[in-house]
Chains A and B, each alone.
Chain A
């Protein structure tokens, strides 16, 4: 699921914070878009359908994070047994 599988290690992939951000924002985005399409209960001033708009934006950000994690996966240095998160992307 995480996509980043640096050969011998499976741990770093799922616990990449970028994947978690992508996952949460993605789920939020889908729920909001659905809510935006189906309408809501409370009677706030709905000039703009902010659920649809905000949800769509979250999906875009989610995809961006997922792609980033996919394109620049975390490289786990061979000697680092416990300290696993060496971000190849930035650090």
Chain B
């Protein structure tokens, strides 16, 4: 069954396609070599010398998230659930990105910390810092390995190249450009990847829409395949959440996905925030996620629509959906569509785009890992007070180490894919309470250091508990005491993490001593002079460079999109 599906997916690539892929690899490595010349300090290596323009960091901001896991996963959701998948973008990403830009970025950038865990350390001290830095670093290694494994698997399925060969080759490519050029190379390649993936997906979507007779034709075909209303309107999205009640489903999407999960991810995940931190000024750092929100709100048309088209136009996907085949892997929907619709030439662009997004995903994980490892773990706890050169070297060695571990993780994932899925879910739970701790810590000066780590640990424990009690969130480890499954279970787990974190933080703060106020400048709103949060020349910015105006435009647009696809 699985083997049959895989041999059906072998693409008919010819030398033109391979040439296009080869050109891409050459450019990627070239960027690494060129970026090397601009790396002379550790800040250059880890944060691009804080010198990149906002449109570059803005595109990198979403490209780091637009890995192939996201592309294939979201088109799979599109094939399976249809339009409600847009909530992952319009509710589950854009609002949090705008919030990050307007409210939180001034803290991150203005306090001159070099990583999100470092902010945690300055605000709450060692306990919270260790919880955050360690869980983040380990999670990045894990995800890098998963990205690497999936990349090798795709290459194996699509092109027939040996799994181990593609694994090692991909790892070496990523390793060489990051060790050479650091974050600049990673960011430049992410921006490039963004354009290549759009160049692949936009024609695919247009040709696909043309084939099914436009959006009207697509709607007709989905309706005649059954389940039309649920698949074609975004609310209440009961098929996506797995929550039967319409009211609870909407609440789950708005609070679980839109508030807790997405704010936890977008505002505290260093993989994302690091891109904005590489900007050249506070207002540029603020603009990065806001500029990123514009392409982000249109990504659904390039990933969900191909999934929906595949569900009616590709016989394998349509059959599986009609017969509700539980063994069918919807993640392959996009690949089937590529196989059916793209001629040689465009096919090469699509392969290059997919490979690029896997590599960019892994590179984002590795470049965030080496920063946290070098600054937050090595410099803070192991070997202190050495020269900057020393930490730059540590960063390069950490990159090599991370890549080797990622290869090991990928080999492990090959044999124990389920375990990897559960581990990934588990690490997701470390993210859930982070936002609560950060936002409370930024605006409540009384919050104590003990409350910092106590809130994080108990919030995470709360989420894990819900997952264990649910029906399937952690696979065989879930015991099914409460009737929650699928996305609904993870929404509730995240919500519980948030509430527990807030409650525990408040209670613990009441019985522990607060931090000395003079140490909290730049870290807590009420204790920071307002000019710390603004550039000196902010008054001279044009309207399109002002974060609040841009964010307002983005907000209005995303509300409009929500209404159009109601």
Report which A residues bind B (CB closer than 8 A).
11, 14-15, 17, 20-21, 23-25, 27-28, 31-32, 35-36, 40-42, 44-48, 50-51, 53-55, 58, 61, 80, 82-87, 89-91
Contacts and interface: CB of A to CB of B under 8 A. Distances in A.
B53 A85 contact: yes
B487 interface: no
A61 B12 CA distance: 28
Contacts of A32: 345-346, 349
Contacts of A89: 53, 55
Given A35-B16, A83-B44, A17 B56 contact: yes
Contacts of A21: 191-192, 195
A23 B23 CA distance: 11
A39 to B, nearest CB: 9
B284 interface: yes
Interface string B433-452: 00000000000000000000
A41 B343 CA distance: 8
Most B CB contacts (10 A, CB to CB) among A15, A24, A47, A84 go to A24
A90 B53 contact: yes
Interface string B27-50: 100010011011111001000111
Interface string B174-204: 0000000000100010011001100100110
A55 B203 CA distance: 10
Nearest to B40: A82
B60 to A, nearest CB: 10
A44 B52 CA distance: 42
B54 A54 contact: no
B465 interface: no
Nearest to A49: B343
Contacts of B349: 28, 32, 54
Contact of B343 (A25, A46, A82): A46
A64 to B, nearest CB: 12
Contacts of A23: 27
B23 A85 contact: no
B280 interface: yes
A54 to B, nearest CB: 4
A27 B348 CA distance: 13
B51 A83 contact: yes
A56 B380 CA distance: 53
B187 to A, nearest CB: 9
Contact of B54 (A14, A46, A58, A90): A90
A82 B38 contact: yes
Given A42-B14, A42-B343, A45-B341, 16 more contacts: A17-B191, A23-B27, A24-B192, A25-B199, A31-B19, A40-B343, A42-B12, A48-B207, A50-B342, A51-B343, A82-B41, A82-B49, A84-B51, A85-B49, A85-B184, A91-B284
A54 B343 contact: no
A28 B199 contact: yes
Nearest to A46: B343
Given A15-B38, A50-B207, A25 B12 contact: no
A30 B53 CA distance: 29
Contacts of B12: 41-42
24 contacts: A17-B191, A24-B23, A24-B196, A31-B345, A32-B346, A35-B343, A40-B16, A40-B344, A42-B14, A44-B342, A50-B343, A50-B346, A54-B203, A54-B346, A55-B345, A82-B39, A83-B44, A83-B49, A83-B50, A85-B49, A86-B51, A87-B53, A91-B52, A91-B279
A42 B103 CA distance: 52
B499 interface: no
B211 interface: yes
B210 interface: yes
Contacts of B55: 87, 89-90
B344 A41 contact: yes
B391 interface: no
A12 B518 CA distance: 42
Contacts of A58: 199
B199 A17 contact: no
B24 interface: yes
Given A54-B199, A58-B199, A91-B280, A35 B192 contact: no
Contact of B24 (A24, A50, A53, A90): A24
A64 B23 CA distance: 21
B346 A87 contact: no
B508 interface: no
Most B CB contacts (10 A, CB to CB) among A32, A55, A84 go to A32
Contacts of B56: 17, 87, 90
Contacts of A25: 195, 199
B340 A44 contact: yes
Most A CB contacts (10 A, CB to CB) among B24, B54, B207 go to B207
Contacts of A40: 14, 16, 343-345
A45 B340 contact: yes
